[in-house]
Structure 1
């Protein structure tokens, strides 16, 4: 089953941007959709993603964000 999620990493949280980018690099081939980075880039980095539940559930909870994309059904 495919699901949607949103990733949100804050520059104020040390290492969070690198952690989010590492997760994306690791799982990008398994995902069916990855948006361009859609945060402002100065304080927030965010992406909308879609893929298999088994992959999305590996996203660390502190990087997971709610929103219209994540709550809509694929």
Structure 2
């Protein structure tokens, strides 16, 4: 569902997640509906997901990527 927000219309589930986080969503972040019902925007039905991922599967690349994630989210979870 769309909801009127500052600067125009925004998707309701994104606004709810931003309120939960206390900040705007960052590039690469999206909101997942746990039960699959995209109309169910209750906070307990929403999860923060990352769409970013490394392009390769080398251990060195994965460790670098993991450190970036920990630096960005380490104290939030």
More strand by share: 1
Higher Cα Rg, which structure: 2
Say whether the fold is shared (TM-score over 0.5): no
- More relative contact order, 1 or 2 (CA 8 Å, 6+ apart): 1
TM-score of the pair, normalised by structure 2: 0.30
